[in-house]
A and B are shown apart, each in its own frame.
Chain A
Amino acid sequence: MPALAPTSGGSSGVVISGAAAQRRPRTAYLLLIPGLAWLAIFFVVPLISLFFTSLQAPTGKSGVYQPAFEVSNYLVAIQEYWPTFVKSFIYSGTATVLALIIAYPLAYFIAFRAGKWRALLLVLVVAPFFASFLLRTYAWRTILADEGFITSFLNALHLLPQGRILNTPIAVVLGLTYNFLPFMILPLYAALERIDPRLVEAAGDLYASPFTGFRKVIWPLSLPGVVAGTLLTFIPASGDYINATLLGAPSDRMVGNAIQTNFLQFRDYPIASALSFILMAIILAVVFVYIRRAGTEDLV
């Protein structure tokens, strides 16, 4: 999460500490217990359960496994699926970069130029969440259809290597970019909105060109939003299998597909669990390195 607000200092912090001083922390724990217990039981415990499942060994009966310490499950999963992992991260990485490029102007527009329309525009950005994810993704089959306007136009210009968009990686990346775009726009907006417009004016007063003003003032100040937005796009995109299934060819399947088919069709729970864990580990590693590089320690 972007650092949404300071927890200490600032006028609100002073008031809160004044009010909180009179209250006992026992009330705080009572407020916390139900929700945190739920997260512990149905988020943390399942992850532990997933880890043990990933080490289970077959019993001979299909779909039934016994507790073991089968580390080789991980080797099998990596050996069999490493090309899928590479492909998944190429797709989700490309989609994240594309989303950043198209989300930035819109977030900038809402933050600095929208005036009284700001609230309405923000509603419009989240509005796609109210229309079915699956149907919206499926609608791209109509928009990108082989005989459709877009494909014909690009084909006339000989821009499509496979002569079509549907059932190619292009469609999968387009779908991922589209579906997670609001997750990019909102944090970008939150970061841009907090920039004092006078800083930009000051840059102008000091004879900085608009581009220099952007590069030296706005972009660095919006970095927390860029980091939060790219992560909120990259993470769900990496694990997604809806876009790959609905818009891609069988050869475009992602890690999500592998986890889903191993879990629900092959009932190979240990391999599916190992795949989940590897995906999680790679994402956590990427997040860690990325946050270090971007230097935004105040992210969580």
Chain B
Amino acid sequence: MRWLRKNLIPIIGILVLIYLFVPIAVVAILSFNKPEGKFNVAWNQFSLEAWQNICGVPGVCGSFVTSMQIGLIATLVGTIFGTMIAFALVRYRFRGRSTTNLLIFLPMATPEVVLGSSLLALFLNLAFPLGFWTVTIAHIMFIISFVVVTVKARLQGMDPRLEEAARDLYAGPRATFRYVTFPLVLPGILGAALLGFALSFDDYIISAFNAGTLVTFPIYIWGAAQRGIPVQVNALATLVFVIALITVVSVQVVGSRRRRKLESTVSS
């Protein structure tokens, strides 16, 4: 009883983590399933069919590639714009700071239906053709805010002594940025980019409003949900999850190692 009281919080914490991962496990397990009917919801029989023939169902891989393309373009543009804003906010004094903060915060405080429908209202009023570019524009818009918040936190959390040390060693502003600031912030930028890509790749609501007839991966899944999601979709999603998790963990390990190395150089 005493043991339970002492360890209650870790136990609940681990249970919550399990709760977070149960549906992901279900998705992965069902990728090895041979469903009985159209709907891949109950375990029937082990099969590697979906993994061996991952593009076997028409439309699955096409929509997957579309989402990849949109995700890459939107992440690239959104990360560059967002990082620039983060640097301006942390490193410069300028007028209009609170307006900037509000403009960054509001898109995150707006429900996705409102973001999606308002953009659609704009595109409809301008008679702008819906498709690949309207979805990409929308994704860049919501990625910027997330990048600003993440990179800003990283910049503010940096040990100021590192840049001081560089200046003391007669590094000019450019050299300080190139050899100290940027390498230290880079893991934060990469992390923000990964998050941005994940948000873009996975976005359904905003995309659905602005896609017209374009089919992204989530839009494909949504359509397929009514008539049965092909097992291949589970296989692809599992693959993406595993690759992303490995990438994030390695970015984190490299980042913390680099930081430790720099910090130990300074303090010794």
Contact = CB atoms under 8 A, between A and B. Distances in A.
Interface of A: 1, 4-5, 11-12, 14-17, 19-20, 22-23, 25, 27-29, 31-32, 34-36, 38-40, 42-47, 49-50, 52-53, 102-103, 105-106, 108-110, 113, 119-121, 123-143, 145, 178, 181-182, 231-232, 235-236, 238-242, 246, 255-256, 259-260, 263-264, 269, 272-273, 276, 279-280, 283, 287, 300
Interface in B240-257: 240-241, 244-245, 248-249, 252, 256
Contact of B195 (A108, A126, A128): A126
B160 A142 contact: no
B87 interface: yes
Contacts of A5: 153, 156-157
B58 interface: no
A131 B114 contact: no
Contacts of A136: 23-24, 27
Nearest to B102: A300
Contacts of B237: 131-132, 135
A148 B140 CA distance: 41
B259 to A, nearest CB: 11
Given A130-B198, A235-B109, A276-B113, A139 B23 contact: yes
B266 interface: no
Given A127-B21, A133-B202, 15 more contacts: A1-B108, A31-B92, A32-B85, A34-B80, A36-B100, A40-B103, A42-B119, A43-B106, A43-B118, A105-B12, A109-B10, A123-B252, A124-B21, A263-B209, A283-B109
Contact of A102 (B19, B82, B120): B19
Interface in B80-101: 80-82, 84-85, 87-88, 90-95, 100-101
Given A35-B82, A133-B202, A260 B252 contact: no
Contact of A121 (B17, B94, B104, B125): B17
A145 B144 contact: no
A256 B113 contact: yes
Contacts of B111: 235-236, 238-240, 256, 279-280, 283
B113 A106 contact: no
B218 A134 contact: yes
18 contacts: A5-B156, A14-B160, A15-B160, A15-B163, A28-B91, A31-B85, A31-B92, A42-B138, A43-B106, A52-B125, A105-B12, A108-B9, A108-B13, A123-B252, A127-B245, A131-B23, A240-B205, A280-B110
Contacts of A287: 109
A246 to B, nearest CB: 6
B118 A133 contact: no
A236 B204 CA distance: 13
Select the residue from A22, A28, A141 with max chain B CB neighbours within 10 A: A28
Considering residues A128, A181, A182, which has the most beta carbons from chain B within 10 angstroms of its beta carbon? A128
B103 A36 contact: yes
Nearest to A267: B124
B20 interface: yes
A103 B85 contact: no
A132 B237 CA distance: 6
Nearest to B218: A134
Contacts of B190: none
Given A106-B17, A124-B20, A239-B113, A139 B26 contact: yes
